[in-house]
Amino acid sequence: METHLLRFVERVRCLSGDQLISNEFALVRKKSTSIKEDYGLTTVAGGINGNVKKNRYRDILPYDQTRVCLTPTTSEYESDYINASFIKGASGDRTCIATQGPLSSTVVDFWRMIWQHNVKVIIMACREFEMGRKKCEAYWASTTETSVFGPFTVSALEESRSNDEIIVRTLVVQHSDETRKVSHFQYTAWPDHGIPDVPDGILGMMELARQKQGDQTDPVVVHCSAGCGRTGVICAIDYVKDLLLTEQIKEHFNILDLVLELRRQRPSAVQTKEQYEFVYHTVAQMFQKFMHKQNKDTKTSDSFYINALSPKTPVKSGSLSIGVSPKPRNPALKPRLSYPPQTSMNNTYAVVNKPKLLPPTVHHYDNANADKSNNNALYSTVKPKNRPVATLSPALPTTPANDRATANQRGGTAPKVIDSDGYEVLPGELRSMNRDAQLPNHLSRSSSATESHSSTDDGYEYLTANVKETSNVFSPGSLGFNSRVTKPKGPRDPPAEWSRVER
């Protein structure tokens, strides 16, 4: 059998990403649609008007062929319906009962089922509230209280935590004059619509449940919210555990057939692709631990681990130590808790990073040497530069702009023009002066008016567009006309170059 176990573990190691899992799970869903017709499965009892309100979800109904039928207790509780299904084990007996989380109206029916089948162990794979919704009614009592559910009186003898993920309760149930003890295991770290990060918690909880069950043949009740997804995963793992202990793992063992067998007994068992993949990895880890236990000799057991990790690489508990590729496809899994663990704050200190004190910044102003008696002179006075003279020099050649641009492209040198202040006039300014020279007489700006214009005239400052000469009219500043700051005095005709046709 060890050869078959090793082959399965090797197959899990060689899983090519999610594609194989996706294809296999798609095949499970496809075959599940024909299961009802192949086996003649019906859900009549769950659809009766009086029983519809007892279903937490309308699309998850137990099959009539595998559902749990309750026996009447009193005239008030005569209905035999509960949303629960029997699950066969490796021996063919009814080893598990998969059921939904009880509703407030079905808690009495839940305890009727527990009492009728002499259940000693209950596994709860959900919390009462998840993602803001109630997933299960509290059918137990706290350690300081006693709860009454119809003819049943329930009290908690003790409550403890085996770790941060599992709550273990010992419940005392009384009916008439008889009293029984029921072990209750609640796994709190299974996220809704997800999977646990590592299978260690699930395997540890199931091991504790088996110890409490002992040699009793009474069924174990497993439930989550709907009684199919997380419940199906636990039932699948428990089924494989029975096969392993009875040495029934054959050559053709596979998870696909196992899940299909579960879905024949409980609809939508193992509900999502992620849960299906989680079954694969949990079973592989179970096989690995079994082989390690059977081969106590270190040298012999090492032969079952192909391509083991280097001693330098830390290996977490619960991760497969066989054949891990150099670049894992999935990130390392970390335990996820349903709530933050309680830690002692006695030796906890807060470290505060104080900002460094920087030397004061010294600002140098260009009016620092000004008269200190004048407190209002906080800023230096900037005198605007006078507008260049727009009078066209007689010696200036009258070559058009296009000709000058062509001459520059051929390597020629544009003529230099010196204004009255001794500054060289740029080509953009030459274009501006040519434009002004071509304007009509009533719009042209005379040199005398320009020379007399200062920064104090009408509160406007005239700027000259100092741009490079270019033949592309779409480049910035290529038109070369003057701009003025703030609001212009009035409308004026566009420059003559605007109407010039480009060739």
Nearest to 207 by CA among 277, 119, 286: 286
All residues at 6 or more sequence positions from 183 whose CB lies less than 8 Å from its CB, including other chains: 120, 121, 122, 168, 169, 170, 171, 209, 212
Q: Is 477 left (phi over 0), alpha (psi -120 to 50) or beta?
A: left
What DSSP line would sit under 371-413, residue for residue? -TT-TT--SPPPPPPPPPP-PPPTTS----HHHHHHHHHTT--
Strands (E), 196-292: 220-223
| Active-site residue (options: 96, 126, 136, 224) | 224
Amino acid in position 81: Y
Q: Does 136 qualify as catalytic in the annotation?
A: no
Q: What is the DSSP letter of 498?
A: G
Question: Which tokens belong to 403?
Answer: 């000709």
Q: What is the rounded CA–CA span in Å between residue 28 and residue 302?
A: 35
156, 171 contact by CB (below 8 A): yes
Cα angle at 239 between 80 and 217, to 5 degrees?
A: 55
182, 124 contact by CB (below 8 A): no
Give residue 174's Cα distance to chain centre: 46
Question: Which tokens belong to 422?
Answer: 């001794």
CB atoms near residue 205 (< 10 Å): 23
Catalytic residue ranges: 224
